Structure 1
Amino acid sequence: MILGIEGVSCVGKTTLAAALATHLNQPAVIPCYFHASPDPTRLPAPEPFTAEHQLANITQFLDVEDLRLAGARRALAEGRDVILDRTVDTLLAHAHAVGRMNGFDCDDQAQHAVTSRAVAMPDLTVVLTADPDVLACRARLRKGMPTIFYDRHFSEHFNAYFDHPLAPAVVRLDTTTGSPEELAARALDHIHRHQAGERQEAS
């Protein structure tokens, strides 16, 4: 299966991916766009101020998605599970959020740009959420974190996008309740339910 892990920066995606890896079938963890990029310094700035700029940014990120897709396909061909640290829905959630914050709407064009390419589409996406104040505290500990990533309005708009994502199945988990181990257990419960439902549909 392909599992997507989503949410704004500092919400705990990478930590959850590592916790889940030991419970899945030799999963390949596909890194986020920043870490998957051959040269992260060439990635676009996180806050474009026009729709045209945002759409150009998405095209650039989709070139990185080609690399992520290749890695996912190799793992699936080997019979392994795949964990995506961010999915293409991140690109659309980001476009939705910055558009609402800067007075433009390129949601339809952005979705067309993404769906016109081959992408790694998760079977199930786990969207992690947390109180924006908690995220802001975490983000301040990370040197160089762009302020937009811990802006309360950005988080609200980003998370609202996942009411209607491309991913066929989405569950939301609050990372501020319980320990990391409890969060992983809740995520695994949803994963097992999803897998059981798929097996039932196939039989």
Structure 2
Amino acid sequence: MILGIEGVSCVGKTTLAARLATHLNRPAIVPCYYHASPDPTRLPAPEPFTADHQLANIAQFLDIEDLRLARTRQALAEGRDVILDRTVDTLLAHAHAVGRMNGFDCDDQARNLVTSRPVAMPDLTIVLTADPDVLARRARLRKGMPTIFYDRHFSEHFNVYLAHPLAPAVILLDATNGSLDDLTTRALDHVHRHQPVQHRTSPALGTHPLKEAS
């Protein structure tokens, strides 16, 4: 199974991924684009002001997606589950959000760019949401966090895109509703519903065919 964990920064994706990993089949956790990048210091600025600039940024991130895809394929070949800390839908949600904030729209071009290449496509994406004020408080504790990542309008536009993502199955969970144990339980319930039948009965057997964007 390929499971994606999505949401804006500071919402708790990495924490939930670690919790879920103990319940899956020897899962490989594929890190987000920042941590998967060979040189994070060369990543583009998070707030481009033109459509062309945004599309160029996506092309750069798709090179990192190639590395994430290779890790995903290797894990699937070994019969392991995969947890994606962010998916390619992050790239499109970001493009949607910054476009709405800066007066341009490159959504269709961005989608065509992403779907023109093979990517790691989750069977299920869990989108974590949280009150923007909560996110802002958390972000202030992270030194150097760009302010756009906890801007209320950015979060709203980002989540609007995720209502119609590339991923075939998406569920939204409020990360601040209840304890972390409660969140993990709710997430696992959805994971179990989306696991392939053979995986439910014999998680150590078989591999999962890799899906691609379409």
Q: Which TM-score applies when normalising by structure 2?
A: 0.91
Residue matched to 1:63: 63
- Confirm or deny that 1:137 pairs with 2:137: yes
SS for the counterpart of 2:66 is helix
Change over 3 Å in CA distance of 1:34–1:113 after alignment to 2 = same
In structure 1, distance between residues paired with 2:199 and 2:87:
24
Q: In the alignment, residue 76 of structure 2 is paired with which amino acid?
A: L
Measure, in 2, the Cα distance between the counterparts of 1:75 and 1:6: 20
User: What does the per-residue CA deviation read over 1:74-100, in whole Å, with 9 as the maximum and x for residues that have no partner?
Assistant: 000000000000000000000000000
**Counterpart in 1 of 2:162?**
162
State the 1:193 CA deviation: 1.2
Q: Secondary structure at the match of 1:144?
A: coil
Higher helix share: 1
Q: 1-side partners of 2:61 and 2:196: how far apart? A: 33
- Structure 1: gaps (5+ residues): none
Partner of residue 15, structure 1: 15
Distance 1:198 1:157, change over 3 A: farther
Q: Measure how far apart 1:184 and its partner are.
A: 0.7
* SS state at 1:26 partner: coil
Q: CA deviation at 1:22?
A: 0.4
Partner of 1:122: 122
Specify the alignment match of 1:173 in structure 2.
Answer: 173
Cα offsets for 1:40-70 (capped at 9, x unmatched): 0000000000000000000000000000000
- In 1, Cα distance between equivalents of 2:2 and 2:34: 20
Distance 2:37 2:194 in 1: 31
Ranges of 4+ aligned residues in structure 1 off by more than 6 Å: 196-200
Could you tell me which residue of structure 2 aligns to residue 97 of structure 1? Answer: 97
Please list the CA deviations of residues 132-166 of structure 1 after superposition, one character each: whole Å capped at 9, or x if unmatched.
Answer: 00000000000000000000000000000011100
Give 1:84's aligned residue. Answer: 84
SS at match of 1:38: coil
The alpha-carbon distance between structure 1 residues 58 and 163, as it changes in their structure 2 partners (threshold 3 A), is: same
RMSD of Structure 2 on Structure 1 (CA): 1.3
Between 23-32 and 186-195, the greater mean CA deviation after superposition = 186-195
Structure-2 change in CA distance of 1:132 and 1:197 (3 Å): farther
Displacement of 1:197: 7.4
- Which residue number in structure 2 is paired with residue 110 of structure 1? 110
What's the TM-score, normalizing by structure 1? 0.96
